[in-house]
Chains A and B, each alone.
Chain A
Amino acid sequence: MARLSRRRLLGLASAGTAALAAGGLSGCGSEVSLSSDPHELVLWLWNRSASPELLAESARGIPGTDFRLRADYIGTTFDTKLRTSLAAGAYIPDLTNINSNNSLYFPAEDQFLDLYELGAAELERDFYPWKWSLGETPTGRFCFFPLDIGPTGFFYRQDIFERAGLPSEPDEVSAATRTWDEWIELGEKLRRDADAGMVQTAAQLFNQFLNASPERYFDTADRPLYEQEGSAVRQAWDLAVRAVQTGVVTGASSTTDQNAAWVSGRTAGQVEGAWWSEIVVDTAPETAGSWRIAQQPGPPGNSGGSFVAVPRTCKNPEAAFAWIRWAQSPQMQARTFNDVQLFPSTPESFELGVMESSDFFGDQDPLEFFSEAAQTVPTTFISTHESKVGAFRTELGLVSNGSKEPERAWEDAVTEVNRVLRKRGVL
């Protein structure tokens, strides 16, 4: 073997450095798109936010175009990564999934194309109107195309309700809890006779009340509503506080505690979106057959559900929209449901008769329940500033663990939220 001289070693090292620098510099060029292949569109998504089956088909070709779709799974801190690309103006995907926090992108809406200009309006009638309206920005541009939805209901353990001598069939439970007052009363009986909670935390109940309310934290002009007399936020707060005081809330705040509470039956219910079925199947498989879903008091809400958007730098917006149109048709949404259980945002999907329901809920068909619930979800507006109102939940946590008086906590929450909003220039 030739002896590696010092000069030779340095030469090798310098060649390596030069290559590294050259590679780095070429990366610093004006590479806007992620793929240099002119016939490849790149979609950013996270696990289980699209059907792998459909993605595999799209990788061979997007129907009606000569483009192919490449799916890049981005994983955690999705928003940070997407925003970094958008801010840098480099390596931007041609399409990107965006979660239910799409209002976060309202101030940056010029980064995305208005899908109405690509002909989205003619598809509007295929979708639930409340979901469609969530995809519109406050200026009326349609930047976020509906993927899945999360119509909510009251999941409960039928066996535990029975044991406590409570109504236990879904229709009976729905009928017994027309109002939140009745729901709390039922919860008190559950606590007394079976020592179980109706929900895990006060903050969850607070969120779900607002998810089913046409009015939320802000009006469409981003003016705060929570301080007004009888505001929805205040009603949600009062309900959550009452649930804590009456022992209806289990108060399991960590994920470990919550999972254990569902497995053991210490918490016998949950108000959540349709997708929660998947969570409970994974968390507590041994409780199969004992869960049922009843209507929550008032109209059902929507919790979660995602969108797909087309950044303005998209290589070919027409081809991107052609893919959206194809992949989000009622037929394809039904297939997506069968593959990864994303609940369709197109009512027609349920009429095709191809969707496979789960038998986790005994003789009750969750598909039937939630597709019906989805029809009466109220239309609402989610402001971009909702990310800044976390103090309400923080203070509810303090009420829950008994370290603060409810009225004092409410005042502190309002003060804190206003302080943050003033800082961010909203107030």
Chain B
Amino acid sequence: MAATTTATVPATRSAAAPVRRRRRLLSYWPQYVAIAPFYLLFLAFGLFPILFSIYLSFNEWDGVGEMTFVGLGQYQYLVADPRFWNAVSNTFIIWIGSTVPMLFLALLLAFLLHQSIRFKGAYRVAFFLPNVTSMVAMAIVFGSVFSDSFGLANGFLRWLGSQEIGWLTESWAIKLTLVLMVIWRWTGYNAIIYLAGLQAIPTELYDAAKVDGASTWRIFTSVTVPMLRPVILFTVITSTIGGLSLFTEPQVLLANSGGNENSGGPGEAGMTIVLYQYNQAFTQFDFGYGSAIAWALFLIAAVFSIINWRLVREREGLADRRTRRAGR
């Protein structure tokens, strides 16, 4: 193959070598052209906006008029902005509140779906369905179910004789509604991923466990969960990314119910970081500040990525050492 010959070209350079290399590069043009569409689009709609937002975050700009350089002004304001920190704490509450029960539930569902039961396919489709449902339509349905005085949820509470909850007006209840929305939407998705992981576990292990007289619960905790560890880690990482960038749910569910557009409902109780960024950039037309929020989110996400990465690395290191020891 051509690539291997390139690699074996000796290090001694003659005058003709660069020419030859260029000609070789040129001879690959169809390949380069073939991969170009992605890179051209990425350049225009990915890389450029990312770099430009760095530049924007050091400026004050309303989107039409002149830009004025403000140095670190946007970041200084950000650090002291109570609305930003409210958004950060909301995001974390919703993220943790949804991820933990969601992943647990997904694991349980996957385990049950993996058993030999009837209508397996139908169940799988049903659990995955919320994930492919239009988010906007879903938010409207949730808006109806959790509507304060006429919703299904409060109707049920009334029937139970318990007190009604202001699902979309009270600070903690708004977060709970958002948590339920995230759980509803993503449990099936994670369950399918777990199911794929389960199917990769050799049946011999289960058989061996059964022969040894292990109960279902014991099999679950001692065989299934340890074997699924890399898959669980993957879902934790994707849920972190999804949780930190939560936007559509609060945007559509609480559209302008706080008296202001895109402000996360009464008292900004459902304001997330990305919603605040969107609010500042596209409702308040403060693009410099919107960009600064985006980069603050990047920093927060980076911190969590490093934590995740270190967890993975340590585990891999552990596994390496184990296999090495076993090989010896």
Q: Which residues of A contact B (CB under 8 A)?
A: 7, 10-11, 13-14, 16-18, 20-21, 24, 77, 79-80, 83-84, 86-87, 104, 107-108, 111, 201, 203-204, 251-257, 260-261, 264, 266, 387-388, 390, 393-394, 396-398, 400-401, 403, 416, 423-425
Contact = CB atoms under 8 A, between A and B. Distances in A.
Interface centre among B30, B148, B166 (most CB of A within 10 A): B148
Nearest to B267: A398
* Top-4 shortest CB links A-B: A393-B259, A203-B259, A14-B33, A10-B30
B149 A254 contact: no
Contacts of B286: 424
Interface string B47-60: 00000000000001
25 contacts: A10-B34, A11-B30, A13-B34, A16-B37, A20-B37, A21-B40, A24-B44, A80-B282, A107-B65, A108-B62, A108-B65, A111-B64, A253-B168, A253-B169, A253-B258, A253-B259, A260-B150, A261-B150, A266-B149, A387-B283, A387-B284, A394-B258, A397-B258, A397-B267, A423-B289
Contacts of B131: none
B266 A390 contact: no
Nearest to A393: B259
Nearest to B77: A423
Contact of A254 (B36, B44, B148, B283): B148
B34 A257 contact: no
Contacts of B268: 394
Contact of A257 (B44, B150, B285): B150
B37 A17 contact: yes
A86 B64 contact: yes
Nearest to B266: A397
Contact of B150 (A13, A264, A401): A264
Interface of B: 29-31, 33-34, 36-37, 40, 44, 60, 62-65, 77, 83, 140, 143-144, 147-151, 166, 168-171, 254-255, 257-260, 263, 265-268, 282-286, 289
B60 A425 contact: yes
B60 to A, nearest CB: 7
B37 to A, nearest CB: 5
B143 A17 contact: no
B260 A393 contact: yes
A7 B44 CA distance: 28
Contacts of B33: 10, 13-14, 17-18
B267 to A, nearest CB: 5
Given A14-B30, A256-B147, A261-B149, A398 B63 contact: no
A420 to B, nearest CB: 8
Q: Describe A's contact surface by its main secondary structure.
A: helix
Given A111-B64, A254-B143, A260 B149 contact: yes
Contacts of B36: 17, 21
Given A253-B266, A398-B266, A390 B30 contact: no
Given A21-B40, A251-B169, A254-B143, A87 B265 contact: no
A393 B260 CA distance: 7
A262 to B, nearest CB: 11
Contacts of B148: 252-254, 257
A18 B268 CA distance: 49
B267 A401 contact: yes
Given A107-B62, A254-B148, A256-B144, 4 more contacts: A24-B40, A24-B44, A83-B285, A260-B147
A73 to B, nearest CB: 19
B150 to A, nearest CB: 4
Most buried by A among B36, B258, B259, B282: B259
Contacts of B64: 83, 86-87, 107-108, 111
A390 B265 CA distance: 12
B147 A77 contact: no
Nearest to A423: B77
A425 B168 CA distance: 34
Contacts of A255: 143, 255, 257
Contacts of A107: 62, 64-65
Contacts of A390: 259-260, 263
Contacts of A260: 147, 149-150
Contacts of A423: 77, 289
A104 B65 CA distance: 12
Contacts of A24: 40, 44
A106 B149 CA distance: 41
Nearest to B66: A107
Contacts of A387: 283-285
